[in-house]
Structure 1
Amino acid sequence: MYPQKSPPPPGYGQAPLPPYATDVPSPRVPQTSWSSGLCDCCLDIPNCCLTLWCPCITFGQIAEIVDKNNTACGVHGAIYTISCCLSSCSNRTKMRRQYRLPEEPTNDCCVHFCCEPCALCQEYRELQQRGFDMSIGWQGNMDRMVPNNGVQIPPMAHGGMSR
């Protein structure tokens, strides 16, 4: 009698979760994989060069995002300069847990000890792939992802009800 409407597409009316929505994913969420390999440094030549010559900058940018601006980029860079591999190893572990990434090709400390620049470049690319603009820091990304001073506007309903 009445024409049958097709169901809405999956996820219709739901805002996608931003990459910063949760620190610890639900145990039911399957483990994901890295968006690029450890040795894919040449996928982003400018970042590769910056990381080789001044890894404290790349580390500071990564740590500010992973730490959700609890400590500023410059402070993380200074910490890296002092403690080098120890802070970057623990930061990689924190990032892997946030995004449910596998500990590969070996444990985090070995990855950073054996191939520090490659590990930093991979983490940088991963955050970029997840939608972060590394040049604007945590607060800049939050302002960009949640417009209107944090007030989210519900989606518009198309083709309202009719009798």
Structure 2
Amino acid sequence: MATFNQPQSVITQQVTVMKRPEWSTDMCDCCDDMGICCCATWCLPCFMCKTASDSGQCLCLPLPDPVMCCFLKFTPVIIPPVSLAMRVSIRERYGIQGTICDDCFMVGCCFSCSWCQIARELKKQKQPLTIVSAQTTTFNVVQTARPPPYNSIY
């Protein structure tokens, strides 16, 4: 009994798993942008409203958070809901790695630092993208003979 070897087609598929980026700055990198740091230090509610507006949200969105924190200061854990929602929104919009638990910890641990990190991320993401090519291009310059100057007799 004769066997015939038939060609087999092999299909290969390459799967690339891309790691989600991290925040462009850490929580305590306030000195990376002193303008953001000073604005948050001197008037946090105004800073929160500006940051919310910069992200495309309603200007007054963050205002309930400080009020809620003042009334609920005797509860064991206070996580301002609007600030948490803003952080999650920015993280999801730009594909930043992390979880809701990380966001809860960051907002609860240092409220103002969390807002500064959000503002720095927004500022970084709004910068124009610059693409630099590493390819070397060679130009050949060919010099042609110039025609003789035109002498006119008047």
Above 0.5 in TM-score?
Answer: yes
Shift of 1:45: 1.6
1:94 and 2:89 aligned: yes
- Aligned-pair distance for 1:53? 2.9
Q: Which whole-Å deviations, capped at 9, do the CAs of 1:6-37 have from their partners, x for residues lacking one?
A: xxxxxxxxxxxxxxxxxxxxxx8752221111
Q: Aligned equivalents of 2:18 and 2:67: distance in 1?
A: 36
Corresponding residue number in structure 2 for 1:76? 61
Residue of structure 2 in register with 1:57 after alignment? 46
* Aligned equivalent of 2:5: none
Does the Cα contact within 8 Å between 2:107 and 2:114 map onto a contact in 1?
yes
| 8 Å Cα contact 2:62/2:82 also seen in 1 | no
Tell whether the 8 Å contact from 2:28 to 2:113 is kept in structure 1 after alignment. Answer: yes
- Whether contact under 8 Å (1:59, 1:80) holds in the other structure is no
Moved more, 33-42 or 56-65: 56-65
Aligned length: 100
Whole-Å separation in 1 of the counterparts to 2:112 and 2:84? 12
Give CA deviations for 1:52-83 in whole Å, capped at 9, x if unaligned.
232212221222233x24x2x1x124233323
- Listed as ranges, the matches of 1:11-90 within 5 Å are 30-66=19-55, 68-69=56-57, 71=58, 73=59, 75-83=60-68, 85-90=80-85
Shift of residue 125 of structure 1? 0.5
Q: For the Cα contact (< 8 Å) 1:92–1:108, is it kept in 2?
A: yes
TM-score (ref. length: structure 2): 0.56
Cα distance in 2 between the residues matched to 1:76 and 1:56: 10
Indicate conservation of the 8 Å contact 1:31/1:102, yes or no: yes
The runs of 5 or more residues in structure 2 that have no matched partner are 1-16, 70-79, 128-154
Which letter maps to 2:49?
A: G
8 Å Cα contact 1:36/1:122 also seen in 2: yes
